[in-house]
A = this chain, B = another copy of it.
Amino acid sequence: MLLGAIEAGGTKFVCGIGDENGNIIERTSFPTTTPDEVLEQVVKFFRDKDIKALGIGSFGPIDLDRTSETFGYITSTPKLQWANINLVGAIKKEFPIPIGFDTDVNAAALGEMKWGAAKGLNSCIYMTIGTGIGVGAISEGHLVHGLIHPEMGHMLVRRHPEDSFAGNCPYHKDCLEGMASGPAIEKRWGKKGQELEKNEKVWDLEAYYIAQGIANLILVLSPKKIIIGGGVAKQKQLFPLIHQNVQALLNGYVRHEVVLENIADYIVPPGLGDNAGLCGAIGLAYEAFLENNQK
């Protein structure tokens, strides 16, 4: 069975065709220009592809409340051209098939649980550290939503005593995203993360903040696997530093051997590499297909 997948990012859209086993057969991507231009390309890509369902993992904020009049919309995004755009509606008009819709990071968490680093488990979190910090979560087998979708990248962190960077979150200044996203690194150090690989101080500080977010997430959700992806997490030296900091912060309180002894297997890079989001959108498509067939 063929399934369609869209990873709708603030920088680029990735579209793919795959199957219910998470195999991706074909893919394409294009920059996130105007909604009209992008939607035209999306429709062109999926036309005549005989997909049975479609999954969309989207940048946000988005409205996931099925009882809401603006379900399926991108809502109050700072990318103004995209604010209040009926993404699901526009696609459904062209393709009247079951459509799964969730945040980009929830999709990635789903992909990693179905086919990646969290395979066989019923909970995980997926954190991306890139232009922003986003986290998707699965708890007790279910993608986590509530009042709205979670916004875990904006958790409070404690400032490092030697860090004088003000933080660049427009809402909170020095929340996790404000202190540790790619642009925060660039603003603090005057260079992009990819050019700072050799500067140990950068990664010590980065791990100091990321570990606080992760420690809180362990205390709140108790996930069975923690996956960290996104551009900044390409710096693989970050992982052991995050492991050490998380253990130091929890200080033996969470008495489980994966935290105490096997943390290198607990907090890991994506099993699906850069495909987590797209595979996850395939997973959303498949879930929408199954749900539709149950009706």
Q: Please report A residues at the B interface, Cβ cutoff 8 Å.
A: 61, 75-76, 123, 135, 137, 139-140, 142-152, 154-159, 171-172, 212, 215-224, 249-256, 258-259
Q: How far is the CB of A140 from chain B (nearest CB, A)?
A: 4
Closest Cβ neighbor of A255 among chain B residues? B76
Q: When A149-B222, A220-B217, A255-B75 are in contact, do A144 and B154 touch as well, CB less than 8 Å?
A: no
Q: Could you say which residues of chain B place their CB within 8 Å of the CB of A218? A: 147
Provide 27 A-B residue pairs closer than 8 Å at the C-beta atoms, listed in order of the A residue: A123-B147, A137-B220, A139-B140, A140-B143, A140-B146, A144-B221, A146-B222, A146-B224, A147-B259, A148-B254, A148-B255, A148-B256, A150-B220, A150-B221, A154-B219, A154-B253, A156-B158, A156-B212, A156-B215, A158-B158, A171-B250, A172-B249, A172-B253, A216-B220, A217-B220, A220-B220, A220-B221
Report the Cα distance A104→B256, complex, angstroms.
Answer: 20
Q: Could you say which residues of chain B place their CB within 8 Å of the CB of A224? A: 146-147
Closest Cβ neighbor of A159 among chain B residues? B158
Q: Could you say which residues of chain B place their CB within 8 Å of the CB of A216? A: 155-156, 216, 220
Contact across chains for A147 and B223 when beta carbons are under 8 A apart? yes
Closest Cβ neighbor of A137 among chain B residues? B220
Supply 8 further A-B pairs (C-beta < 8 A) apart from A147-B256, A150-B221, A220-B221: A140-B140, A140-B143, A140-B145, A145-B222, A151-B222, A154-B219, A158-B159, A216-B216
Q: Please tell me how many copies of the chain the complex holds.
A: 2
Report the Cα distance A179→B223, complex, angstroms.
Answer: 25
Q: Could you say which residues of chain B place their CB within 8 Å of the CB of A145? A: 140, 222
Contact among B148, B219, B251, B255 with A222 in the assembled complex (CB-CB below 8 Å): B148
Q: Could you say which residues of chain B place their CB within 8 Å of the CB of A219? A: 150-152, 154-155
Q: How far is the CB of A156 from chain B (nearest CB, A)?
A: 6
Q: Could you say which residues of chain B place their CB within 8 Å of the CB of A212? A: 156
Contact among B150, B151, B157, B255 with A156 in the assembled complex (CB-CB below 8 Å): B157
Q: Could you say which residues of chain B place their CB within 8 Å of the CB of A155? A: 216, 219-220
Q: How far is the CB of A266 from chain B (nearest CB, A)?
A: 8
Shortest beta-carbon contacts, A-B, top 9: A146-B222, A140-B142, A171-B253, A123-B146, A147-B222, A150-B222, A171-B251, A220-B220, A152-B220
Contact across chains for A139 and B146 when beta carbons are under 8 A apart? yes
Q: How far is the CB of A50 from chain B (nearest CB, A)?
A: 32
Q: Could you say which residues of chain B place their CB within 8 Å of the CB of A148? A: 222, 254-256
Q: Could you say which residues of chain B place their CB within 8 Å of the CB of A137? A: 220
Q: How far is the CB of A98 from chain B (nearest CB, A)?
A: 20
Q: How far is the CB of A224 from chain B (nearest CB, A)?
A: 5
Contact among B142, B151, B256 with A142 in the assembled complex (CB-CB below 8 Å): B142
Q: How far is the CB of A212 from chain B (nearest CB, A)?
A: 6
Report the Cα distance A92→B78, complex, angstroms.
Answer: 57
